[in-house]
Amino acid sequence: MTDPHASGFHARFDKALGAYLGLAIGDALGATVEFMRPREILLQYGTHRDIVGGGWLKLARGQVTDDTTMSLALGEALLLGGHRGITQLRDGQGDALVRQIGEAYLAWWRGGPVDCGNTCRRGILRFMHEGSLVAPENEGDAGNGAAMRNLPAVLATLGDRAAFEKLSLAQAHLTHHHRLSDAATLGLGSLLRGLLAGEDQARLRERIARWVNEEPAFRHTPYRGRATAYVVDTVQTVLHFVSEHEDFEDAVVATVNQGDDADTTGALAGMLAGARCGAARLPWRWLSRLQPATVRAITDQTSGLLALADQLSEVAHG
Ligand code: MN
Ligand code: MN
Protein backbone atom coordinates (compact mmCIF):
# COMPACT_ATOMS: atom_id res chain seq x y z
CA MET A 1 0.00 0.00 0.00
CA THR A 2 1.21 3.48 -0.78
CA ASP A 3 0.49 6.12 1.80
CA PRO A 4 -0.18 9.25 -0.25
CA HIS A 5 0.77 11.41 2.72
CA ALA A 6 4.18 9.90 3.28
CA SER A 7 7.08 12.12 2.28
CA GLY A 8 7.99 9.54 -0.37
CA PHE A 9 4.90 10.70 -2.20
CA HIS A 10 6.25 14.23 -2.55
CA ALA A 11 9.67 13.02 -3.63
CA ARG A 12 8.11 10.80 -6.27
CA PHE A 13 5.85 13.59 -7.54
CA ASP A 14 8.83 15.95 -7.78
CA LYS A 15 10.81 13.40 -9.78
CA ALA A 16 7.90 12.49 -12.06
CA LEU A 17 7.15 16.14 -12.73
CA GLY A 18 10.87 16.75 -13.28
CA ALA A 19 10.90 14.00 -15.89
CA TYR A 20 7.85 15.31 -17.78
CA LEU A 21 8.93 18.97 -17.67
CA GLY A 22 12.48 17.88 -18.50
CA LEU A 23 11.11 16.15 -21.60
CA ALA A 24 9.36 19.36 -22.68
CA ILE A 25 12.44 21.49 -21.98
CA GLY A 26 14.70 19.20 -24.00
CA ASP A 27 12.16 19.21 -26.83
CA ALA A 28 11.78 23.03 -26.90
CA LEU A 29 15.53 23.60 -26.61
CA GLY A 30 16.52 20.94 -29.12
CA ALA A 31 13.93 21.81 -31.77
CA THR A 32 15.83 25.00 -32.61
CA VAL A 33 18.78 22.96 -33.86
CA GLU A 34 16.96 19.87 -35.16
CA PHE A 35 18.60 18.45 -38.30
CA MET A 36 21.67 20.70 -37.95
CA ARG A 37 25.19 19.30 -37.75
CA PRO A 38 27.25 20.06 -34.64
CA ARG A 39 29.56 22.31 -36.70
CA GLU A 40 26.65 24.32 -38.08
CA ILE A 41 25.28 24.78 -34.56
CA LEU A 42 28.66 25.97 -33.36
CA LEU A 43 28.94 28.51 -36.18
CA GLN A 44 25.42 29.84 -35.68
CA TYR A 45 24.98 29.72 -31.89
CA GLY A 46 28.32 28.97 -30.32
CA THR A 47 26.95 26.56 -27.73
CA HIS A 48 23.17 26.46 -28.09
CA ARG A 49 21.73 26.87 -24.56
CA ASP A 50 18.67 29.12 -24.75
CA ILE A 51 15.05 28.31 -25.52
CA VAL A 52 14.46 30.71 -28.41
CA GLY A 53 12.15 28.85 -30.83
CA GLY A 54 12.82 29.05 -34.58
CA GLY A 55 14.49 26.09 -36.24
CA TRP A 56 13.19 24.41 -39.37
CA LEU A 57 9.68 24.37 -37.84
CA LYS A 58 9.79 28.14 -37.19
CA LEU A 59 8.59 27.60 -33.63
CA ALA A 60 7.46 30.29 -31.23
CA ARG A 61 9.76 30.73 -28.25
CA GLY A 62 9.05 27.95 -25.77
CA GLN A 63 6.91 25.94 -28.17
CA VAL A 64 7.23 22.17 -27.95
CA THR A 65 6.87 19.62 -30.78
CA ASP A 66 5.46 16.14 -31.33
CA ASP A 67 7.69 14.59 -28.67
CA THR A 68 5.80 16.43 -25.94
CA THR A 69 2.39 16.73 -27.57
CA MET A 70 2.18 13.02 -28.49
CA SER A 71 3.14 12.19 -24.91
CA LEU A 72 0.30 14.40 -23.73
CA ALA A 73 -2.06 12.61 -26.12
CA LEU A 74 -1.00 9.25 -24.67
CA GLY A 75 -1.39 10.57 -21.13
CA GLU A 76 -4.92 11.78 -21.85
CA ALA A 77 -5.94 8.41 -23.23
CA LEU A 78 -4.56 6.65 -20.14
CA LEU A 79 -6.45 8.94 -17.78
CA LEU A 80 -9.59 8.31 -19.81
CA GLY A 81 -9.14 4.53 -19.74
CA GLY A 82 -8.34 4.49 -16.04
CA HIS A 83 -6.78 1.67 -14.06
CA ARG A 84 -9.42 -0.74 -15.35
CA GLY A 85 -8.24 -0.20 -18.90
CA ILE A 86 -4.65 -0.93 -17.89
CA THR A 87 -5.57 -3.99 -15.81
CA GLN A 88 -7.62 -5.39 -18.67
CA LEU A 89 -4.74 -4.93 -21.10
CA ARG A 90 -2.19 -6.39 -18.66
CA ASP A 91 -4.31 -9.47 -18.06
CA GLY A 92 -4.99 -10.08 -21.74
CA GLN A 93 -8.70 -9.42 -21.31
CA GLY A 94 -9.16 -6.83 -24.01
CA ASP A 95 -7.57 -3.95 -25.82
CA ALA A 96 -10.16 -1.18 -25.39
CA LEU A 97 -7.42 1.00 -23.92
CA VAL A 98 -5.19 0.55 -26.97
CA ARG A 99 -8.09 1.64 -29.17
CA GLN A 100 -8.48 4.71 -26.96
CA ILE A 101 -4.78 5.47 -27.37
CA GLY A 102 -5.15 5.09 -31.14
CA GLU A 103 -8.09 7.52 -31.06
CA ALA A 104 -5.99 9.97 -29.05
CA TYR A 105 -3.13 9.80 -31.57
CA LEU A 106 -5.62 10.26 -34.39
CA ALA A 107 -7.21 13.28 -32.69
CA TRP A 108 -3.71 14.65 -32.12
CA TRP A 109 -2.90 14.20 -35.82
CA ARG A 110 -6.19 15.79 -36.92
CA GLY A 111 -5.38 18.76 -34.71
CA GLY A 112 -2.57 19.63 -37.12
CA PRO A 113 0.58 19.09 -35.03
CA VAL A 114 3.60 21.18 -35.88
CA ASP A 115 5.42 18.02 -36.99
CA CYS A 116 4.83 14.28 -37.27
CA GLY A 117 7.33 11.54 -38.10
CA ASN A 118 6.68 9.38 -41.16
CA THR A 119 6.27 6.13 -39.25
CA CYS A 120 3.89 7.79 -36.79
CA ARG A 121 1.81 9.20 -39.63
CA ARG A 122 1.67 5.83 -41.40
CA GLY A 123 0.59 4.08 -38.20
CA ILE A 124 -2.06 6.65 -37.36
CA LEU A 125 -3.51 6.53 -40.88
CA ARG A 126 -3.49 2.71 -40.76
CA PHE A 127 -5.42 2.87 -37.49
CA MET A 128 -7.87 5.34 -39.03
CA HIS A 129 -8.53 3.32 -42.19
CA GLU A 130 -8.27 -0.24 -40.90
CA GLY A 131 -8.65 0.11 -37.14
CA SER A 132 -5.38 -1.80 -36.83
CA LEU A 133 -3.81 -1.67 -33.37
CA VAL A 134 -0.54 -3.32 -34.30
CA ALA A 135 1.64 -2.13 -37.14
CA PRO A 136 3.15 -4.94 -39.22
CA GLU A 137 6.72 -5.75 -38.28
CA ASN A 138 8.93 -3.71 -40.52
CA GLU A 139 12.65 -3.24 -40.84
CA GLY A 140 12.02 0.43 -41.63
CA ASP A 141 10.23 1.09 -38.33
CA ALA A 142 13.32 1.41 -36.15
CA GLY A 143 12.77 5.10 -35.61
CA ASN A 144 12.58 6.69 -32.15
CA GLY A 145 8.91 7.78 -32.38
CA ALA A 146 7.49 5.18 -30.02
CA ALA A 147 10.19 5.50 -27.37
CA MET A 148 10.00 9.30 -27.37
CA ARG A 149 6.38 9.42 -26.17
CA ASN A 150 6.30 6.58 -23.62
CA LEU A 151 6.73 8.59 -20.40
CA PRO A 152 3.00 8.63 -19.46
CA ALA A 153 2.88 4.82 -19.74
CA VAL A 154 5.78 4.63 -17.28
CA LEU A 155 4.12 6.98 -14.78
CA ALA A 156 0.75 5.21 -14.95
CA THR A 157 2.25 1.79 -14.17
CA LEU A 158 4.94 2.62 -11.63
CA GLY A 159 4.06 -0.14 -9.16
CA ASP A 160 3.41 -2.83 -11.76
CA ARG A 161 6.21 -4.15 -13.98
CA ALA A 162 3.95 -6.40 -16.08
CA ALA A 163 1.55 -3.54 -16.79
CA PHE A 164 4.49 -1.28 -17.68
CA GLU A 165 5.75 -3.74 -20.30
CA LYS A 166 2.35 -4.55 -21.81
CA LEU A 167 1.23 -0.93 -22.00
CA SER A 168 4.55 0.40 -23.33
CA LEU A 169 4.66 -2.12 -26.16
CA ALA A 170 0.96 -1.70 -26.97
CA GLN A 171 1.23 2.07 -27.34
CA ALA A 172 4.46 1.62 -29.33
CA HIS A 173 3.05 -0.94 -31.75
CA LEU A 174 0.27 1.35 -32.92
CA THR A 175 2.93 2.98 -35.09
CA HIS A 176 6.30 1.24 -34.62
CA HIS A 177 6.91 -2.50 -34.69
CA HIS A 178 10.57 -3.30 -34.58
CA ARG A 179 12.72 -5.23 -32.13
CA LEU A 180 15.06 -2.31 -31.46
CA SER A 181 12.24 0.19 -31.02
CA ASP A 182 10.69 -2.19 -28.48
CA ALA A 183 14.03 -2.62 -26.70
CA ALA A 184 14.55 1.15 -26.57
CA THR A 185 11.04 1.83 -25.31
CA LEU A 186 11.34 -0.73 -22.51
CA GLY A 187 14.97 0.06 -21.71
CA LEU A 188 14.51 3.82 -21.41
CA GLY A 189 11.32 3.17 -19.46
CA SER A 190 13.19 0.94 -17.03
CA LEU A 191 15.85 3.59 -16.47
CA LEU A 192 13.09 6.10 -15.76
CA ARG A 193 11.38 3.72 -13.33
CA GLY A 194 14.65 3.34 -11.44
CA LEU A 195 15.20 7.09 -11.21
CA LEU A 196 11.62 7.68 -10.07
CA ALA A 197 12.22 5.15 -7.32
CA GLY A 198 15.07 7.36 -6.12
CA GLU A 199 18.09 5.66 -7.66
CA ASP A 200 21.20 7.84 -7.95
CA GLN A 201 23.74 8.39 -10.73
CA ALA A 202 25.85 5.38 -9.72
CA ARG A 203 22.81 3.08 -9.93
CA LEU A 204 21.80 4.65 -13.24
CA ARG A 205 25.24 3.90 -14.67
CA GLU A 206 24.99 0.31 -13.40
CA ARG A 207 21.59 -0.11 -15.04
CA ILE A 208 22.88 1.33 -18.29
CA ALA A 209 25.93 -0.97 -18.21
CA ARG A 210 23.69 -4.01 -17.66
CA TRP A 211 21.32 -2.93 -20.43
CA VAL A 212 23.98 -2.39 -23.12
CA ASN A 213 25.48 -5.72 -22.13
CA GLU A 214 22.17 -7.39 -22.97
CA GLU A 215 21.59 -5.21 -26.03
CA PRO A 216 25.01 -4.40 -27.53
CA ALA A 217 23.41 -2.29 -30.31
CA PHE A 218 22.95 0.45 -27.72
CA ARG A 219 26.57 0.42 -26.52
CA HIS A 220 27.64 4.05 -26.40
CA THR A 221 31.33 3.77 -25.57
CA PRO A 222 33.20 4.91 -27.52
CA TYR A 223 30.49 7.37 -28.54
CA ARG A 224 30.12 7.48 -32.33
CA GLY A 225 28.59 10.95 -32.35
CA ARG A 226 25.51 9.95 -34.32
CA ALA A 227 22.23 11.48 -33.09
CA THR A 228 19.74 10.61 -35.84
CA ALA A 229 16.14 9.45 -35.39
CA TYR A 230 17.28 5.85 -35.88
CA VAL A 231 16.51 4.53 -32.42
CA VAL A 232 20.00 3.06 -31.99
CA ASP A 233 21.63 6.45 -32.60
CA THR A 234 19.08 8.16 -30.36
CA VAL A 235 19.58 5.77 -27.45
CA GLN A 236 23.38 5.84 -27.72
CA THR A 237 23.33 9.64 -27.65
CA VAL A 238 20.99 9.86 -24.67
CA LEU A 239 22.88 7.21 -22.68
CA HIS A 240 26.21 8.80 -23.46
CA PHE A 241 25.28 12.28 -22.27
CA VAL A 242 23.22 11.36 -19.20
CA SER A 243 26.05 9.08 -18.04
CA GLU A 244 28.63 11.73 -18.73
CA HIS A 245 26.84 14.68 -17.06
CA GLU A 246 25.11 14.49 -13.72
CA ASP A 247 23.87 18.09 -13.89
CA PHE A 248 20.54 18.56 -15.71
CA GLU A 249 21.62 21.59 -17.69
CA ASP A 250 24.99 20.11 -18.71
CA ALA A 251 23.36 16.87 -19.86
CA VAL A 252 20.67 18.56 -21.96
CA VAL A 253 22.96 21.20 -23.48
CA ALA A 254 25.55 18.57 -24.48
CA THR A 255 22.82 16.39 -26.00
CA VAL A 256 21.12 19.01 -28.17
CA ASN A 257 24.43 20.42 -29.40
CA GLN A 258 25.02 17.04 -31.00
CA GLY A 259 22.32 18.20 -33.45
CA ASP A 260 20.39 15.99 -35.87
CA ASP A 261 17.25 14.71 -34.07
CA ALA A 262 18.07 17.15 -31.30
CA ASP A 263 14.53 17.71 -30.05
CA THR A 264 14.01 14.01 -29.47
CA THR A 265 17.44 13.24 -28.01
CA GLY A 266 17.03 16.42 -25.94
CA ALA A 267 13.57 15.34 -24.78
CA LEU A 268 14.75 11.88 -23.71
CA ALA A 269 17.91 13.16 -22.02
CA GLY A 270 15.78 15.84 -20.33
CA MET A 271 13.33 13.18 -19.18
CA LEU A 272 16.02 11.08 -17.48
CA ALA A 273 18.02 14.03 -16.13
CA GLY A 274 14.80 15.68 -14.92
CA ALA A 275 13.77 12.54 -13.05
CA ARG A 276 17.22 12.44 -11.52
CA CYS A 277 17.15 16.01 -10.19
CA GLY A 278 13.41 16.59 -9.69
CA ALA A 279 11.19 19.48 -10.85
CA ALA A 280 12.23 21.82 -8.06
CA ARG A 281 15.80 21.82 -9.37
CA LEU A 282 15.06 22.44 -13.05
CA PRO A 283 16.65 25.67 -14.33
CA TRP A 284 14.09 28.44 -13.98
CA ARG A 285 15.34 30.28 -17.08
CA TRP A 286 14.16 27.28 -19.12
CA LEU A 287 11.06 26.38 -17.16
CA SER A 288 9.77 29.95 -17.35
CA ARG A 289 10.13 29.92 -21.14
CA LEU A 290 7.81 26.97 -21.72
CA GLN A 291 4.30 27.92 -22.74
CA PRO A 292 2.05 28.09 -19.65
CA ALA A 293 -0.56 25.78 -21.19
CA THR A 294 2.12 23.12 -21.67
CA VAL A 295 3.32 23.38 -18.07
CA ARG A 296 -0.27 23.20 -16.82
CA ALA A 297 -1.13 20.14 -18.92
CA ILE A 298 2.04 18.37 -17.80
CA THR A 299 1.48 19.15 -14.13
CA ASP A 300 -2.14 17.99 -14.23
CA GLN A 301 -1.23 14.80 -16.06
CA THR A 302 1.63 13.98 -13.71
CA SER A 303 -0.62 13.95 -10.65
CA GLY A 304 -3.38 12.12 -12.53
CA LEU A 305 -1.04 9.43 -13.87
CA LEU A 306 0.61 8.85 -10.48
CA ALA A 307 -2.83 8.50 -8.91
CA LEU A 308 -3.58 5.93 -11.59
CA ALA A 309 -0.41 4.03 -10.66
CA ASP A 310 -1.50 4.01 -7.01
CA GLN A 311 -4.95 2.67 -7.91
CA LEU A 312 -3.32 -0.01 -10.03
CA SER A 313 -1.02 -1.21 -7.26
CA GLU A 314 -3.80 -1.03 -4.66
CA VAL A 315 -5.87 -3.33 -6.85
CA ALA A 316 -2.85 -5.61 -7.27
CA HIS A 317 -1.87 -5.74 -3.61
CA GLY A 318 -5.09 -4.81 -1.84
MN1 MN B 1 9.81 16.64 -32.43
MN1 MN C 1 12.70 14.98 -33.55
What DSSP character marks residue 59? B
d(CA 30, CA 184): 20
Summarize the confidence of residues 277-290 as an average pLDDT: 98
- Residue 317 is predicted with a pLDDT of 62
| Ligand nearest, relative to CA of residue 229 | 2
Q: For residue 316, what pLDDT is reported?
A: 65
Tell me the CA–centroid distance for residue 310 and ligand 1, in Å: 31
Q: Output the 3-class SS for 251-312.
A: HHHHHHCCCCCHHHHHHHHHHHHHHHHCHHHCCHHHHCCCCHHHHHHHHHHHHHHHHHHHHH
276 CA from centroid of ligand 2 (Å): 23
Is the Cβ–Cβ distance between 170 and 74 less than 8 Å? no
Over residues 61-73, mean pLDDT: 98
What is the model's pLDDT at position 6?
Answer: 52
- pTM > 0.95: yes
Q: What's residue 1's pLDDT?
A: 43
Q: What is the pLDDT of residue 7?
A: 67
Mean pLDDT of 162-170: 98
Calculate mean pLDDT across residues 300-306.
98
Q: How far is the CA of 93 from the centre of ligand 2 (A)?
A: 35
Mean pLDDT of 178-194: 98
pLDDT in tens, 254-280: 999 999 999 999 999 999 999 999 999
DSSP bridge partners of 143: 230
Q: For residue 69, how far is its CA from the centre of ligand 1 (angstroms)?
A: 9
Tell me, in angstroms, the distance from the centre of ligand 1 to residue 147's CA: 12
- Higher-pLDDT residue of 9 and 5 is 9
Tell me the C-alpha distance between 263 and 268, whole Å. 9
